[in-house]
Amino acid sequence: MTFDALDAWWWPFLFILIAGWLATDAWRFLGVYFGGRISEGAGLLVLVRAVATALVAAVIGNLIVFPSGVLAAAPLALRVGAAAAGFVAYLWLGKRILAGIVVAEVVLVAGLMLGA
């Protein structure tokens, strides 16, 4: 089956759903299966955790430096400042991820509203 196999309006959505599910869930199941057997301090698990953290940091950095959409209208200083404020709030409020995200969003939205 291909993306253009059927001419029904729902086919592309079903194709993407199935292809996305197969591509991600197989790795999730394998991760759960093998992850339970690996000790938390194992070198392989530390490497996987480091790579995952680096990927998230790269995505966040890419969104800050090369944004698209409405975020591209925000000045670089505002985007960096919002990220920095979120990180400081995360540390100051006891390493609560949600607190850091909310503070960064509030700073970014306030900066966009004041600049508009």
Residue 44 within any structural domain of the chain:
no
Amino acid identity of 56? V
* pLDDT at residue 45, rounded to an integer: 82
- Tell me whether residue 116 is in a domain: yes
What is the reported pTM? Answer: 0.65
Which of 2-6, 23-27, 38-42, 57-61 is the least confident region? 2-6
77 in a structural domain:
yes
Cα–Cα distance list, 37 to 22, 29, 31, 106, 113 (Å): 23, 13, 10, 42, 50
Domain count, the chain: 1
pLDDT score recorded for residue 15: 82
Q: Which domain holds residue 104?
A: 68-116
Domain assignment of residue 53, yes or no: no
